[in-house]
């Protein structure tokens, strides 16, 4: 495959959870956000919140909260004599696209400057608390948080699916052989790095399922199956968080 410094930076990505105490300066932060703003967008339906307080997750020096922001759109629409009629669900989806693309640009820009980062995916379930902390108006929804700083750890990138399990040309088709190979690649890759054993991150089984895994064979496909086979069955908790931020349907 082709390669260049940008591709090498992207292919070497990993989530960093240990940071030095060196604090990135304001010029670095400005560069991150300006690069992030150059991501493609539907309507720039995003805002970024920054905290440099003590005791951030993973003791990171920076914590960014990337939000879907419909409030700003309505402000300048009002100046033009317009009122939004587009429904909240549709706007949320466009906002998720905008904010996600921006967030990824932040990660890539940060890594090009020697920074590491880690997304906190449970952010939407803490939306009400974040809204109060930052005094957010209705129409602003915290989508994902991002810790960032200079890495204090070094490890290889985590495995990803084989290309054949990701890219489908003309027809979406998955064979048993493709599934087996994808599961093997993910599980053997994580086991080789001792990922779950180092973190003691085996998810406990609920109900009557008998535990048959040890850290010698517990890996990504079992971990992800336990997560989405046991958690978040009821959408009401997330719907309540959206409503607290002024979004409902």
CA atoms within 13 A on the CB side of 183: 14
- Whether the per-residue pLDDT at 101 is higher than 90: the answer is yes
Return d(Cα 246, Cα 139) in angstroms, integer.
5
| Domain parsing of the chain, residue ranges | 5-154, 163-230
Q: Which two tokens stand for residue 109?
A: 């820009």
Pairing of strands 140-149, 62-69: antiparallel
pLDDT in tens, 17-62: 999 999 999 999 999 999 999 999 999 999 999 999 999 999 999 9
Q: Which two tokens stand for residue 162?
A: 């084989």
pLDDT at 150: 98
Q: Which two tokens stand for residue 231?
A: 């958690």
Say what the pTM is.
0.95
Return d(Cα 14, Cα 159) in angstroms, integer.
10
Calculate the CA dihedral of residues 30, 114, 196, 200 and round it to 10 degrees.
Answer: -70
pLDDT at 169: 97
Residues in the chain, overall count: 249
- Whether the per-residue pLDDT at 249 is higher than 90: the answer is no
pLDDT at 69: 98
pLDDT in tens, 162-213: 999 999 999 999 999 999 999 999 999 999 999 999 999 999 999 999 999 9
Return d(Cα 107, Cα 39) in angstroms, integer.
12
| DSSP-assigned letter for residue 166 | T
- Work out the mean pLDDT of the chain and round it to a whole number: 97
Percent share of the chain, pLDDT over 90: 98
Question: Which CATH number applies to 5-154?
Answer: 3.40.109.10
Q: Which two tokens stand for residue 38?
A: 């150059």
At what angle are helices 127-134 and 236-244 packed, to 10 degrees? 20
Q: Which of 21, 24, 52, 64 is nearest to 152 (CA)?
A: 21
First to last CA, the chain: 46
Please give the helix or strand (H or E) that residue 120 lies within, else none: strand 116-120
Q: Which of 110, 104, 107, 98 is nearest to 40 (CA)?
A: 98
Structure confidence at residue 240 as a pLDDT band (50, 70, 90)? very high
Within the chain, what is the greatest distance between any pair of CA atoms? 64
Return d(Cα 144, Cα 65) in angstroms, integer.
6
Residue written as tokens 């967030």?
Answer: 103
């Amino acid at each position: 495959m082709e390669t260049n410094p940008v591709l090498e930076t992207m292919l070497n990505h990993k989530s960093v959870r240990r940071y030095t105490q060196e604090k990135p300066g304001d010029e670095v932060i400005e560069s991150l956000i300006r690069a992030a703003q150059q991501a493609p967008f539907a309507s720039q339906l995003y805002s970024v919140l920054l905290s440099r307080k003590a005791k951030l997750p993973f003791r990171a020096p920076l914590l960014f909260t990337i939000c879907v922001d419909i409030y700003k759109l309505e402000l300048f629409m009002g100046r033009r004599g317009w009122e939004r009629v587009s429904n909240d669900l549709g706007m949320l989806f466009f906002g998720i696209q905008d904010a996600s693309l921006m967030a990824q640009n932040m990660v890539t820009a940060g890594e090009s400057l020697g920074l590491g980062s880690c997304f906190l995916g449970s952010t939407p379930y803490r939306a009400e608390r974040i809204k109060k902390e930052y005094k957010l108006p209705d129409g602003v929804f915290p989508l994902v948080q991002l810790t960032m700083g200079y890495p204090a750890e070094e490890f290889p990138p985590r495995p990803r699916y084989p290309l054949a399990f990701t890219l489908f040309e003309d027809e979406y088709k998955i064979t048993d052989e493709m599934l087996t190979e994808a599961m093997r690649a993910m599980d053997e890759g994580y086991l080789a790095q001792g990922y779950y054993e180092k973190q003691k991150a085996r998810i406990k089984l609920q109900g009557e399922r008998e535990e048959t895994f040890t850290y010698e064979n517990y890996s990504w496909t079992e971990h992800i199956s336990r997560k989405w086979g046991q958690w978040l069955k009821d959408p009401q908790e997330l719907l309540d968080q959206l409503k607290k931020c002024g979004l409902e349907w």
